[in-house]
Amino acid sequence: MTTVSSPLAGRAIGLAAVPDPVFSGAMVGPGTAIDPVREPSEAVAPVDGVIVSLHPHAFVVVDDSGHGVLTHLGIDTVQLNGEGFELLVNKGDTVVRGQGVVRWDPAAVEAAGKSPVCPIVALEATAEALTELREDGEVTAGESLFLWK
């Protein structure tokens, strides 16, 4: 069982509320989403593991059991070409839960006309594999979002 923690402080809103059909339809995988606090912050690793994919706007950490967790910082933020995002680790690095991965500013993303809502997705998982899924309420970085069987 893997506990997936929130990489950000904010409000859990669930994937269905994400303003993007690929995420809201869980086509990438099941999970939840965070509407982040509008202040510069670090998105942190949601699990202990290895950074297998790293972009300014998104990263994937794979844990010891092979579970890959995608953190996507905002919607359509790839169009910002990395502006306003600072990578704190490198692809291939081993990280621990709560370690900073990307520094960013959700308010600047919003000011650039993009949604700062952040999907946190269990890659290659079934909805049935996730339990204790947080889809509402305030969350702090490091607080449990879901358990992955």
Q: What is the dihedral of CA 128, 130, 135, 141, to 10 degrees?
A: -170
Instruction: Tell me how far apart the alpha carbons of residues 56 and 97 are, in angstroms, rounded to a whole number.
Output: 19
List, in sequence order, the alpha helices (H) in 71-132: 106-111
Q: What's the chain's average pLDDT?
A: 97
Is residue 21 very low, low, confident or very high in pLDDT (cuts 50, 70, 90)? very high
Is residue 147 very low, low, confident or very high in pLDDT (cuts 50, 70, 90)? very high
- Tell me: the pLDDT tens digits for 115-140? 999 999 999 999 999 999 999 999 99
Which pLDDT value is given to residue 146?
98
- Whether residue 72 lies in the annotated active site: yes
CATH architecture of 2-148: Distorted Sandwich (2.70)
Average pLDDT of the segment spanning 99-127: 97
Q: Where are the domains of the chain?
A: 2-148
Predicted TM-score (pTM) above 0.85: yes
